Amino acid sequence: MITTFGAPGHSTTRRAWLRSVGRAGLAFGLYPLGLRADAAGAGTSPRFRIGACDWSIGRMANPEAFDVARAIGLDGVQVSLGTAANDMHLRRAEVQATYREALERTGLQVGSLAIGELNNIPYKSDPRTVEWVADSIDVCRAFGCRCVLLAFFYNGDLKGDAAGTDEVVRRLREVAPKAEKAGVSLGIESWLSAEEHVAIIDRVGSPAVKVYYDVANSSKMGYDIYREIRWLGNQGLICEFHAKENGFLLGEGVVDFRRVRQALDEIGYSGWVQIEGAVPSGGAMKESYVANQRFLRSVLG
């Protein structure tokens, strides 16, 4: 039996609409790789693909991340759009060419994009970020991926910031039609609860805006992650996952990844799971990530 919970003021009709739009999008191939297994068809692709964030494997905004990922045994990389210092360089054709060379050399994939710089230069206030997010959709199309992580931590934190949230909603409303047309999901990753995320998604009113679910962040905030995954996932509102621990290898921290797998089965998720963090104090990154990907494959199959 799946336990569901809701936020005051969120109508059943609204949730039903979101579910129907999400399923329709999947049926026409508009959303990230197989959000629901029952809509993914009978293709030969593996149900789960395991990657890592380029910043977590020491190659942020650097195509060498793919060489490191191949040595670890990963399927791909979550790639940073860039930094403020390099003006989000992945938007440039010559930089994209270096990444394509890395993809051809390693045989790996760009799992998704991320704009981590939004933690320092907030989407809620800095005008430069409007163009970054809009352009990231074009970059997704160039690399055949369908998810952009929008980070809302540190300077970009939305928790308790009503004015900042209003501006984020306004900006997302403007860019969402472009994302919808491209079949790209804009994934919000933040300290917010499932209900708070859905409140933003409801206000934007676009099936292109979803939650990028980080199990460690939500666990740290005290949220019931197994219930949140089910509640959000059954509405088609999760675009991708971070498999993460703070200061521990996966499987040795607070997150029960076997229970996460059960929740993924119940919502029918298939697609990318990106490893972030999960290096113990004093541990080496490469050895830790080899262990992490082996553990995650043992859980996900």
**Domain CATH code at residue 101:** 3.20.20.150
* 4 within a domain of the structure (yes/no): no
Residue 45 confidence (pLDDT):
84
Instruction: Answer yes or no: pTM beyond 0.85.
Output: yes
Q: How confident is the model at residue 77 (pLDDT cuts 50, 70, 90)?
A: very high
Q: How many domains does the chain have?
A: 1
- 176-206 pLDDT, tens digit per residue, is 999 999 999 999 999 999 999 999 999 999 9
- 78-115 pLDDT, tens digit per residue, is 999 999 999 999 999 999 999 999 999 999 999 999 99
* 88 within a domain of the structure (yes/no): yes
* 177 within a domain of the structure (yes/no): yes
Residue 59 confidence (pLDDT):
98
* 6 within a domain of the structure (yes/no): no
User: Chain-centre distance of CA 79, in angstroms?
Assistant: 11
* 5 within a domain of the structure (yes/no): no
* 3 within a domain of the structure (yes/no): no
CA 202, CA 204: separation in Å to the nearest integer? 6
Please give the DSSP secondary-structure letter assigned to residue 268: T
* Residue that has been written with the tokens 């039609």 in this structure: 177
Residue 15 confidence (pLDDT):
46
Q: Which domain holds residue 158?
A: 12-40+48-300
* 2 within a domain of the structure (yes/no): no
Give percent of the chain with pLDDT exceeding 90: 85
Q: How confident is the model at residue 41 (pLDDT cuts 50, 70, 90)?
A: very low
pLDDT at 11 over 60: no
CA distances from 297 to 44, 74, 259, 275, 276 (A): 18, 10, 14, 11, 15
Beta-strand pair 271-277/238-245: parallel
Q: How confident is the model at residue 242 (pLDDT cuts 50, 70, 90)?
A: very high
Average pLDDT, the chain: 89
* 1 within a domain of the structure (yes/no): no
Q: How confident is the model at residue 20 (pLDDT cuts 50, 70, 90)?
A: low
Classified as helix, coil or strand, 148 is strand
Pick 31 or 155 by higher pLDDT: 155
